[in-house]
Structure 1
Amino acid sequence: MKPIAVWLKDEIYHDFSIGKCLVIILKTIGCSYNRCIFCSYKEDASKDIKEEEIIGQFDHALKKYNLEELDSFSVKIFTSGSFLDDREVSKRVRRYIYERLSQYKNLKEFSIESRAEYITEDKLDEMRKYLSCHIDIGLGIETFNEELRELLNKGLKCEDIVKAIRIAKKYDVGIKAYLLIKPPFLTERDAIKDAISSAKKAFELGCSRISFCPITIHKNTVLEYLWKKGQYRPPFLWSVLEIIRSVKEHYPKKIIVCDTTAFGLKRGAHNIIGCGCNKIIKENIEKFNLYQTLDLLDVECECKKVYESYIIAENKNIVPFIQECDLLEP
């Protein structure tokens, strides 16, 4: 059985060096929580999948490239939920993956994702029995605004986050904080403030790096309903640039990356649809993800005036939100 996707890409390592990363998206039964109002990854999952099929997907991914010939490489595994959830990826399958990876002397980093409740001492202890490389666990914190996180139906409290970070530190495992840019129920300006303050809190608590996730509208979600009703607009790319710049300036020695999925599209972060700055900003942020150079965030475009007007209009509580095309000068 083949994985959903597998590819080799350039990646920044924890020591700021750049190397290759094998990205594997495994098909599993999906997230057992499956209640966040902005996520539909469960729809990509399989209702019934056997252990051997997951193992087969992993083996297929390893065989696709000659990893032994690389000076070093990292492996990043995504599922539709939590790698450390026994219901999604069994202990036997995880052990098999660890054993296979431990055979690569040039493996520099290993990265997975998990909800906080599955980050336990016994699971990290088992992982460390096989892997001595740098390890990161991506944790969907989304925001450090507790009330807002409850509205997102995340099922995660700050004490859960603190506990997960503490356990990870004990086993020399980093926590990569996934933070949303512009969750629903916030204005554009408040979303900027929330992302910046959440990033600062994440680093204060000991997260190893930040991965910003500008909202993408998934089908069949509460968020999509709000979007179709005109009650939500994905973030402007100008906001994304401001957030990344602010956090990087404050934490120059920390790695900060940003997902660029659906940039420039209606369902993703965008400025005026069709404006050339969408592509430029996407390309520059992808370069920034590798090189962490602030100059890459220096982008200007005439459409920024529309963005500034939109923020003013939005703060007047216009519902449904005004369309940015209505703010264009005739």
Structure 2
Amino acid sequence: MNTTQPLGNLLPEIRRKALKRVDKRPPHELAASWSGDDLLYSGPGKSIFIVLPTPGCAWALAGLGGCSMCSYIADSPLQKVSSQELVKIFKEHFQRQMQKQDIHVPTSIKIFVSGSFLNTEEIPKNAQKEILKIINEYEDVEEVVVESRPEYVNEDVLRDCCSMIPGKILEVAIGLESADDEIRINKINKGFARKDFEKAMEVINQLKSDFDVRVKAYLLVKPILTSEKDAIDDAVKSAQYAERAGAGRVSFCPSTIHKGTLMEILWRRGAYQPPWIWSTLEIIRKVKNTVKIPVIMDTAGFGTRRGPFNCKKCNSKLKDAIIKSNINQTIPEEFECECKVKWKADLEFSDVTRSTTNLLKNR
């Protein structure tokens, strides 16, 4: 199976143009942090989110275009960042957020790097260790969540990371996106097959006798070339697969339109729309009835022009219901709105795949 260049020269060309438009800024200006209520493995608690400025996702910079929906590379300095600077930036943001925390609140630290934390070319090994060493000093931190592509999940780097936070959970969040290889490779251009995800799972499972290390699967809701109905079906099947494969949690990421992506080009030409919020509710209901592990539905971008949208009458109400569902792990109650009829018609009659495929051929 070809996992390298499924969309021909489209994505590399789009990525090259997007990178030329990046307004380069110093690393400390690209760092960010915030906190909020969240669901931990132990129950409701707080999460601190920290974005570190690394050289950028290796896959996005590899010359094959990266993922068709992602522009996080634009928030990277696109140059080497020293271990000392990374640790300094992390420490400043981490301590700032911890000072805002209530005393003795179960806390999760989520480290985002616009790429792979476990890739030592993005985060040098000594920086990994120093960052985790800082976190380990805080007893209220129960979980540390890092993101990585599966090819960087190996026993040595994981053992080093876990040994720095004894007694805490290390969760590796992997962008599986879909359990379907054709969707992941030919529509998302993720660059790896399901067997690669399963290989990473094997490595992590081998370490569970020594450390509390787990996996979260990120799943994309509605890639390009996908109808509304097919998006729901794939999301449900992918969550079921992730649980069977051994993931401890599933986090759904409904598509939002990132600048400088193929998804944005199709959206501007009327050949793609982010999923309905109704679809995300349907996914939650179906998954909750078939999957036992915790399931989170990201609500970033809900109700905006570039994100999941129903109508102005129900956007906020449904977003609030999903956020509550994330914390309590309950199925949102039934809602009714006049726009629901349009969503049902979209499920029954739309054929985004055919129209978008023709548009790509005529590009």
TM-score where L is the length of structure 1: 0.91
**Aligned with residue 296 of structure 2, among 239, 243, 257:** 257
The equivalences for 1:164-203 within 5 A come to 164-172=200-208, 173-203=213-243
**Could you tell me whether the CA contact under 8 Å between 2:225 and 2:356 is conserved in 1?**
no
CA RMSD of aligned residues (A): 1.9
The answer on 1:33 being equivalent to 2:72 is: no
1:47 CA displacement:
2.0
**Could you tell me whether the CA contact under 8 Å between 1:241 and 1:297 is conserved in 2?**
no
The answer on 1:18 being equivalent to 2:44 is: yes
1:277 CA displacement:
0.8
Q: Which structure 2 residue ranges, 5 or more long, are not aligned? A: 1-27, 61-65, 358-363
Residue aligning to 1:5: 32
Residue aligning to 1:328: none
The equivalences for 1:156-171 within 5 A come to 156-171=192-207
Distance 1:74 1:55 in 2: 18
What's the % identity of the aligned pairs? 36
**Could you tell me whether the CA contact under 8 Å between 1:213 and 1:258 is conserved in 2?**
yes
Q: Deviations over 1:274-311 (max 9, x none)?
A: x22111111111111111111x2422211101111223
Structure 1 pair 62–316 and aligned structure 2 pair: CA distance change class (3 A): closer
Structure 1 pair 47–238 and aligned structure 2 pair: CA distance change class (3 A): same
**Aligned with residue 139 of structure 1, among 170, 174, 189:** 174
Residue aligning to 1:206: 246
TM-score where L is the length of structure 2: 0.83
Equivalent AA in structure 1 for residue 164 of structure 2: Y
Higher RCO structure, 1 or 2 (CA under 8 Å, sep 6+): 2
Equivalent AA in structure 1 for residue 93 of structure 2: A
**Could you tell me whether the CA contact under 8 Å between 1:68 and 1:104 is conserved in 2?**
no
The answer on 1:57 being equivalent to 2:89 is: yes
Question: Tell me, what secondary structure is at the counterpart of 1:69?
Answer: coil
Question: Tell me, what secondary structure is at the counterpart of 1:75?
Answer: strand
Residue aligning to 1:150: 185
Q: Which structure 1 residue ranges, 5 or more long, are not aligned? A: 322-330
Residue aligning to 2:14: none
Distance 2:144 2:92 in 1: 18
The equivalences for 1:42-81 within 5 A come to 42-48=73-79, 49-64=81-96, 65-66=98-99, 69-81=103-115
Residue aligning to 1:304: 340
Distance 2:353 2:141 in 1: 52
1:266 CA displacement:
2.3
Q: May I ask how many residue pairs the two structures share in their alignment?
A: 316
Distance 2:222 2:234 in 1: 8
The answer on 1:279 being equivalent to 2:316 is: yes
